[in-house]
Amino acid sequence: MACHTGEDCARRQGDFVRPVSCFAAAAAACTAASCEHGCDIYRTEIGGPKLVLCAPNASSTGHMKVCGGIANWACPENMTCELGPEAANTRDASGRCVPATG
């Protein structure tokens, strides 16, 4: 995903984590991370960069295909989050990443 370079890449929520490489695409970031259980994309700010992180275990990953929900997962570039009808009734609605139109 689009990612700030330099020191911003080494911080999460203002706390120093460790220097990380930045990539232009989520798939490239996930491949480089060599995650055992796949990757998830997290929104850091509206319109800002997205964080691609390894899933902690096999049961808690959306594999960059599930979006929204309490985890606040985002979709890869050129995709959008399509929420189901239950989204109107809950604050923790998750959806599926589908190709962006237009």
Count the neighbouring beta carbons within 10 Å of the beta carbon of residue 16. Answer: 9
The whole-model pTM stands at 0.68
What DSSP state is assigned to residue 85?
G
Residues 86, 89, 94, 95: is their CA dihedral positive or negative?
Answer: positive
pLDDT (tens digit per residue) in 8-67:
556 667 665 666 677 878 888 888 888 888 888 887 666 666 788 888 888 888 888 988
Domain ranges of the chain: 6-90+94-98
